[in-house]
Amino acid sequence: MTALLEVEDLAYTYPDGTEALRGATFSVAEGERVALLGPNGAGKTTLLLALIGIIQASRGVVRVGGVTLEPETYPEVRRRIGIVFQDPDDQLFMPTVWRDVAFGPANLGLDGEEVETRTKEALAAVDMEQQADRAPHHLSGGEARRAAIATVLSMRPDVLVLDEPTSNLDPVGRRELADLLSTLDTTQIVVTHDLPFALRLCPRSIVLNGGRVAADGPTAELLSDTDLMAANRLELPYGFDPGTIAGR
């Protein structure tokens, strides 16, 4: 398998001196679905922002599909890596769902017809065609999440990155989201605290802690390693035993 996304020795220190990333290194192959796990403050969100140059890493390299991240390649890298942010209220900023999904492709400078094709295709992929003309603040939590995913799918990214996609979703919404994500062929990185969700969806997991990769391997194995879990402040829900559940 060739690596689609390569992250090498990525480091970042916030202006207040907090070292959020201290040399994170990993790679993701095409078609993989990888969970990125870690406690609060592990540097997960910082890593996402650094992947597309919204914050500039002080050290290290990001490469996606052979394109190296640098100021000249920001537009290209941001097309290839699509990030769905945690709060759909931040992600959905246009007056209607349709216009929001069309925002990305329009920024790519595509012509009107192509923008329309992609918008329709993305809305269909998340089953939101009926809600195209609605205002984002009138969507349910699950609908808003799906609309947020569509806004990124319309850019046809190589890698889909989701930040805490299950936050504020009820169990049914969570299950429906897992079903939806498993139907998408795009390479996915799912940042989450929701370990059963990670197990259900992602064969492989990367554990980030203290700004470094603390572990990288099959999700079921990592979740069964109690020492590793405890060392990284990861905890399974009460009564949940990954050994008895068929992961992917």
Partner 1 sequence: MSGVHAHALHYHGHSPVHRLAPEVKIVAMFAFVAAVIATPTRAVWAFGFLAAVLAVAVGLAEIPMGFFLKRLSIEIPFVIFALAMPFVGQGPYVEVGSLSLSVPGLWGSWNVLAKATLSVGASIVLSATTEVADILSGFDRLRAPRLLTAIAGFMVRYLEVVVSELGRVRTAIAARLGDLSRRREAATLAAVSGTMFIRAYERGERIHQAMLARGYQGVMPAAAAPELPVRWSGMVAWAASAWVVAAAAILTT
Binding stretches for partner 1 (CB under 8 A)? 49, 52, 54, 75, 78-79, 82-83, 85, 87, 89-91, 93-96, 98-99, 102-108, 112, 115-116, 119, 133-138, 151-152, 155
CA distance 176 to 184: 13
CB of 156 to partner 1, least distance (A): 12
CA distance 125 to 118: 10
CA distance 157 to 190: 15
Side-chain-facing half-sphere of 6: CA atoms under 13 Å: 11
CB of 232 to partner 1, least distance (A): 26
Measured from the CB atom, the residue of 79 and 204 that comes closer to partner 1 is 79
CA distance 221 to 229: 11
Angle at 92 between CA 108 and CA 52, to 5 degrees: 50
Q: Around Cβ 248, how many Cβ atoms within 10 Å?
A: 13
Token look-up 């996609």 returns: 165
Measured from the CB atom, the residue of 91 and 188 that comes closer to partner 1 is 91
